[in-house]
Amino acid sequence: MRIVTCIAPVNIAVIKYWGKRNEELILPINDSISASLDTNQMCAKTTVMISPDFESDRIWLNGREESIDNKRLQRCIQEIRKRVAVSGGTLSEEICQWKIHICSENNFPTAAGLASSAAGYACLAAALAKLYDFTGNISEIARLGSGSACRSVYGGFVRWYMGSDPTGRDSIAKQIAPETHWPEMRIIVLVVNDSKKKVSSAIGMKRSVETSKLLEYRAKHVPQKVEEMHQAILDKNFSKFAELTMRDSNQMHAVCLDTFPPCFYLNDISCTIIQLINAYNSAFDSIKVAYTNDAGPNTVLYLLEENVPLVLGLIDFFFPPSTISGQLYKKGNPPESITPTKKLLEKIDLQPQPIGSIRNIIYTRIGCGSTQLQNPSEHLLDNNGLPKNIQYL
């Protein structure tokens, strides 16, 4: 038998992927750029195992056995097997036909709706590549699971090139700069309380492609923004980086509203956070923080380390935490908050929100890409190929 375990990061786009030109191959209508977040706070972990003793392919996700007949999942597995067979890899044809068991979990609550499929598919692609000694491009395999997953294969700042080849061969991610490039950069993930069921990003973006004229406009103008963002990252130009990030998030959500029927991903709390950040930047007459939202109400802030204590102080003031949650409210060991002055609060001029509007805060930084874990104690499957964690059974 063969067994491999990998971890992969969550990534948060600063120039968004929104819209496919090919649904089947998951080919986007524009390049996108993201940063991969530190796996210590948020990551997917996946063990893959093949054995002649397994009777069928099986998968366990976050504590539950799920159907293996998921189209995207099958595509990743089949594609990697096919490519290994064609390139005459190191494993015999017989071994490549052994049934596979997959077990995957996140170290953050999936219910929080945070880019979990990106980390999950990047992790699966990385683990399958090691399992089958695949030497091709892993981001291309991850992309077949979920578009944004191709960016989670790498650490630091990553660009997904849309490519032009109809086969998707050149629609791959590449690193712009490693995780060490901008050491002062910090990320604060604000997990917003929300129970509404959202339209998935796959369905939302399909609907946008079909109905939004604004998306056509966006597609024409993103190439310029991507180049500017790429350069801002290389130059470590924070105010340029932050302005582009906020504008791009705003535009993606404007496209969602221009979609028919419209998709609403932001809620009142996300909008108040956006107002707070704009008011804070205005109060200092300089862009010190950027916000961005994916297909959900959770808001992610990018900022430099020196500004974290005051920004946390403002969040504490305007979004008082619930004291009854019992869980650790702030994760990732953030620094002590600074209480904002009366003068700053007057300038910001917003109303504090109901207690518990933000469920928790994850403080993190830029991190590395998918990585194989060598210690056998890290495997999520035991020697029989069953989940070690009893809750799965």
Residues of this chain that interact with ligand DP6 (CB under 6 A) are 13, 16-17, 26, 32, 117-118, 146-148, 201-202, 294-295
Residues 345 and 317 sit within 8 Å (Cβ to Cβ): yes
Nearest-approach distance from CB 19 to ligand DP6, in angstroms: 9
In the bound state with ligand DP6, the residue whose beta carbon lies nearer, of 276 and 295, is 295
Residue 148 CB, nearest approach to ligand DP6 (Å) = 3
CA pair distance 33, 43, nearest whole angstrom: 19
Helix (H, G, I), strand (E, B) or coil at 67: coil
Distance CA 121, CA 365 (A): 21
The two three-digit tokens of residue 221, written as one number: 């103008």
Give the nearer residue to ligand DP6 in terms of CB position, either 16 or 83.
16
292 or 307: CB nearest ligand DP6: 292
The residue among 106 and 201 lying less far from ligand DP6, judged by its C-beta, is 201
Q: Which residues contact 284 (CB under 8 A, 6 or more apart)?
A: none
Residue 15 vs 348, nearer CB to ligand DP6: 15
105 contacts 8 by C-beta, under 8 angstroms = no
The least CB distance from residue 129 to ligand DP6, in Å, is: 19
Of 4 and 59, which has the nearer Cβ to ligand DP6?
A: 59
Nearer of residues 21 and 330 to ligand DP6, judged by Cβ:
21
Nearer to ligand DP6, 146 or 307 (CB): 146
Strands (E), 231-368: 289-293, 299-304, 330-331, 358-365
254: three-class secondary structure by DSSP: helix
Q: How far is the CB of 15 from ligand DP6 (least distance, A)?
A: 8
Radius of gyration from C-alpha coordinates of the chain: 21
Q: How far is the CB of 93 from ligand DP6 (least distance, A)?
A: 31
Are the CB atoms for 290 and 242 separated by under 8 Å?
A: yes
Measured distance CA(352)–CA(205) in Å, rounded: 34
The separation between CA 382 and the C-alpha centre of its own chain, rounded to angstroms, equals 29
Q: How far is the CB of 225 from ligand DP6 (least distance, A)?
A: 13
Least distance (Å) between residue 145 CB and ligand DP6: 7
Smallest gap from Cβ 315 to ligand DP6, in A, equals 23
Distance of CA 360 to the CA centre of its chain: 18
- Return the number of the residue (17 or 238) whose C-beta is nearest ligand DP6: 17
**Shortest distance (Å) from residue 201 CB to ligand DP6:** 4
Which of 241, 357, 355 lies closest to 292, judged by CA? 241
Q: Which two tokens stand for residue 328?
A: 């650790």
Q: Is there a cis peptide before residue 28, judged by omega within 30 degrees of 0?
A: no
Task: Read off the tokens for 118.
Answer: 């990106």
The residue of the chain with the least Cβ separation from ligand DP6 equals 147
Report angle CA 318, 251, 232 to the nearest 5 degrees: 85
